[in-house]
């Protein structure tokens, strides 16, 4: 049951990504293609929502010493998210939401398989099996077909 709920949560999260891309692009168009400001507006809303979630969770805030023990690269996620938001806001109106997301998902799958196989960034090691390689190949072929107009 727990795995079903986790899978459902992942599917909902994934379904929200194209909605985010389209809404970011719409905001950017209204403000004369100001992609950086669109991203900033998104991050301000995200900061408020995340802050409310932190306080609603009832968990205590981590100590500064704990934060200092995290590897430096563990904080790069913020830069990656900023790059993603700026990129998808720029690409969605130029490529279409479907094409932009298809290319992004392909990049995610290929990077995820690499991270899994080598256990990069302290992640669980999951071997790159022939079955997983075939799946990745189908993903790339699927994106190619999805990009056909």
pTM: predicted TM-score of the whole model, two decimal places: 0.82
SS3 content of the chain, % helix, strand, coil (to 5): 85, 0, 15
Asked whether the predicted pLDDT for residue 50 surpasses 80, the reply is yes
- Looking at 59, 78, 95, the residue that finishes a domain is 95
44 and 103 part of one domain:
no
Q: Is 105 a domain residue?
A: yes
Give me the pLDDT at residue 140, please: 87
Which string of DSSP letters, residue by residue, matches 50-64? HHHHHHHH-PPPPPH
Q: Determine phi and psi for 31, rounding to 5 degrees.
A: -105, 35
Same domain, 69 and 113: no
What domain count does the chain have?
A: 2
In a domain? residue 60: yes
* Residue 149 pLDDT > 80: no
Span 57-113, pLDDT tens digits: 999 999 999 999 999 999 999 999 999 999 999 999 999 998 899 899 889 999 999
Mark which of 60, 79, 95 sits at the end of a domain. 95
Could you give the percent of the chain with pLDDT greater than 90? 86
Check residue 93 and give its pLDDT.
94
Tokens of 125: 């090691």
Q: What is the mean pLDDT of residues 123-142?
A: 93
Do residue 29 and residue 90 come from a single domain? yes
Average pLDDT, rounded, for the chain = 93
Confirm if 109 and 34 have CB atoms less than 8 A apart: no
Same domain for 23 and 89?
yes
Q: Which range marks the domain in which residue 65 is found?
A: 17-95
Same domain, 22 and 89: yes
Are 91 and 112 in the same domain? no
């Amino acid at each position: 049951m727990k795995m079903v709920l986790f899978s459902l949560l992942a599917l909902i999260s994934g379904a929200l990504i194209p909605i985010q891309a389209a809404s970011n692009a719409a905001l950017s168009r209204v403000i004369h293609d100001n992609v950086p400001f669109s991203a900033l507006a998104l991050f301000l809303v995200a900061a408020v929502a995340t802050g409310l979630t932190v306080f609603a969770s009832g968990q205590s805030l981590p100590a500064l010493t704990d934060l200092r023990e995290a590897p430096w690269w563990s904080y790069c996620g913020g830069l990656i998210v900023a790059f993603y938001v700026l990129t998808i806001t720029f690409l969605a109106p130029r490529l279409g939401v479907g094409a932009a997301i298809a290319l992004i998902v392909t990049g995610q799958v290929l990077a995820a398989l690499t991270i899994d196989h080598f256990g990069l960034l302290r992640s669980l090691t999951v071997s790159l099996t022939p079955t997983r390689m075939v799946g990745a190949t189908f993903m790339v072929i699927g994106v190619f077909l999805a990009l056909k107009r």
